[in-house]
Amino acid sequence: MSTFAERKPLTIGLAGFGTVGGGLARLLEENADLVRRRTGRDMCIRRILVRDLEKARQIPLPAGAELTTDPVALTDDPDIDVVVELIGGIDHARVLIDRALEQGKHVVTANKALLAEEGLALFQKAARKGRILRYEASVAGAVPVVEALKESLAGNRVTSLMGILNGTSNYILSEMGSNGLDFDVALKQAQEKGYAEADPTLDIDGFDAAHKLILLVRLAYGVNYPYAALPVRGIRGLAAQDIGFAREFGYRIKLIGQVREVRSPAGEDCPEGPVRLEAGVFPALVHHTYLLARVGGVYNAVRVEANAAGALFFHGRGAGDLPTAGAVLADLMAVAREEMPNNTGYVEEDLPTAAIVPPEEWRSCYYVRVMVEDAPGVLRDISGCMAAEGISVAQMIQKADEGAGVPLVFMTHETTAKAMSDALQRAEAAGLLREPAVYYRVL
Ligand code: NAP
Ligand code: HSE
């Protein structure tokens, strides 16, 4: 192996100089000695792609770097070894990465939206070109779960994975629950702290967590789960009163991304029964004694169940400049060490499509809040709608009339999503509900 003195610095074309790009520039300077000791090379940023050359910047331009608005100045510069894509979004980022790979550059990105929705062609291109395409920062910020699934747990069969995958939503839920903040105020704070996506609907409607879950499913199971097929529900409109009622039952409400193997009954052609994946993003009640319930603020967590390791729990900051930049820098260090590409963790270029459990078949307990008239027999009628679909009520709270009716809040025993939806449609059709029912899964 060549010595440090002989090795050329790794030259970076940095696309994006916002929260994460700025954090990376800062960290490259702060940790320059560490990078040299761990990789035997220096790293330097040669060019930085931005939209607006005149914009005031929080972070000074790194020595020797120049700003540009021309992506080709990164992708086609023969002196640049690696393009770091931190501009976000789909179209411009796809063109940039595709061109960078075409020009023989390695690529590091934090862009889960692109990799989840349209990443397959890019992974295939990277494989054909023998280039590294790394993306640790795209899932759960500082939490090193991508490499853990790809390398450290490669010898395990993952049976389930569940986590809090969006820092902005978790920040909002924590601030609403612990400090009584309004949803909009908490979202604004998350934006000011640099946690939210440029389009925060991706965070609050669950799509950002969904992008990350798609990447985790690919890593854990070696299959493509089509993004469009993933059931996604975010935290928009989640009411403070439901956070309060959930607490009375001993639960916290969290935005959860989950995938688990479901083995169907054995058939003649498949003695063990075929394996399908049950995957989705949804707000859920998590019992306060579970570790996931204690993950607060911008923190993310991923719990993995694997056949050899058993249960593992990863926890850390899910967003923010330096936490995310640290993950980008680790990827750059792997590039500097010229590691063999192992982009998806599987040798096939074409991963098979996942067999999927339809959401109506999912089984869980439920939290339900209905607003009903405070009149004799209403409780019996609501219970009757549940019983007609085979649903058994486990616990119940009834509050005083609030003008719009009485909130009747209950937890059910395990049932299917279809039975729950049918029961609530019965209640609606019977004229029992003063407002649409609110219901969440219970983990
Ligand atoms: P950001 O603060 O909005 O910064 C985006 C940067 O990209 C800006 O410097 C912007 O230029 C530049 N840019 C955007 N579109 C461009 C285009 N079409 N051409 C040239 N430059 C363009 O975004 P961020 O929060 O750093 O996020 C970047 C990526 O990291 C996203 O994919 C995001 O999902 C991901 N990520 C973010 C976090 C986080 O905590 N923020 C964590 C993990 C992953 P101007 O400065 O001139 O506007
Ligand atoms: N907007 C994302 C979040 C950034 O809040 O989790 C980290 O991926």
SS3 338: coil
Cα(79) to centroid(ligand 1), Å: 24
Q: Nearest C-alpha to atom 42 of ligand 1 is from which residue? A: 319
Tens-digit pLDDT profile for residues 175-204: 999 999 999 999 999 999 999 999 999 999
Residue 304 predicted with pLDDT over 70: yes
Give the β-pairing of 251-263 and 106-109. Answer: unpaired
Where do the H-state alpha helices sit in 249-377?
321-336
Distance of alpha carbon 148 from alpha carbon 136, whole angstroms: 10
Q: What pLDDT shows up at residue 7?
A: 84
- Is residue 438 predicted with pLDDT exceeding 70? yes
Question: What values do phi and psi take at 67, rounded to 5?
Answer: -85, 150
Question: Which ligand lies nearest to the CA atom of residue 169 in the structure?
Answer: 2
Q: Is residue 37 within 8 Å of 54, Cβ to Cβ?
A: no
Pocket test for ligand 1, best of 94, 324, 328 (most atoms within 8 A of CB): 324
Question: What does CATH list as the number for 4-138?
Answer: 3.40.50.720
Instruction: Give the Å distances, CA to CA, from 242 to 81, 173, 367, 432.
Output: 51, 11, 9, 20
For ligand 1, which residues put their CB under 6 angstroms from it? 16-21, 49-52, 55, 86-88, 92, 110-111, 137-138, 141, 194-195, 197-198, 319-320, 324
Q: How many helices (H) and strands (E) does the chain have?
A: 14, 16
Which residue matches tokens 């608005």?
69
Other CB atoms within 10 Å distance of the CB of residue 51: 11
Sequence-distant (≥ 6) Cβ neighbours of residue 30 within 8 angstroms: none
Q: Is the CB of 136 under 6 A from ligand 2?
A: no
Bridge-based pairing of strands 363-372 and 438-442 is: antiparallel
The pLDDT value recorded for residue 267 is 55
Return the pLDDT at 265: 67
Whether 279 and 230 have beta carbons less than 8 Å apart is answered as: yes
DSSP letters spanning 89-116:
SSHHHHHHHHHHHHTT-EEEE--HHHHH
Question: What pLDDT was estimated at residue 413?
Answer: 97
Q: Which two tokens stand for residue 59?
A: 């972070």
pLDDT digits (tens, 9 = 90+) for 366-387: 999 999 998 889 999 999 999 9
Name the CATH code of domain 359-442 (choices 3.10.450.50, 3.30.930.10, 3.30.70.260, 3.30.200.20): 3.30.70.260
Residue 264, pLDDT score: 73
> What pLDDT digit, counting tens, does each position of 54-81 carry?
999 989 999 999 999 999 999 999 999 9
Residues in the chain: 443
* Domain spanning 145-316: CATH 3.30.2320.30: no
Cβ-contact 403, 346 below 8 angstroms: no
- What is the sign of the dihedral through the CA atoms of 283, 284, 285 and 287? negative
Residue boundaries of the structural domains of the chain: 4-138, 145-316, 359-442
**Structure confidence at residue 268 as a pLDDT band (50, 70, 90):** low
Whether 141 is in the pocket of ligand 2, judged by its Cβ within 6 Å, is: yes
Contact 169, 209 (CB under 8 A): yes
Non-local (6+) Cβ contacts of 422 within 8 A are 389
Q: Would you say 170 and 300 are in contact if contact means Cβ atoms under 8 Å apart? A: yes
212 is catalytic: yes
Residue of minimum CA distance from atom 1 in ligand 2: 196
Mean per-residue pLDDT, 104-112: 98
Residue range 341-364, pLDDT digits in tens: 999 999 998 899 999 999 999 999
What sections of 222-338 are H helices per DSSP?
240-248, 321-336
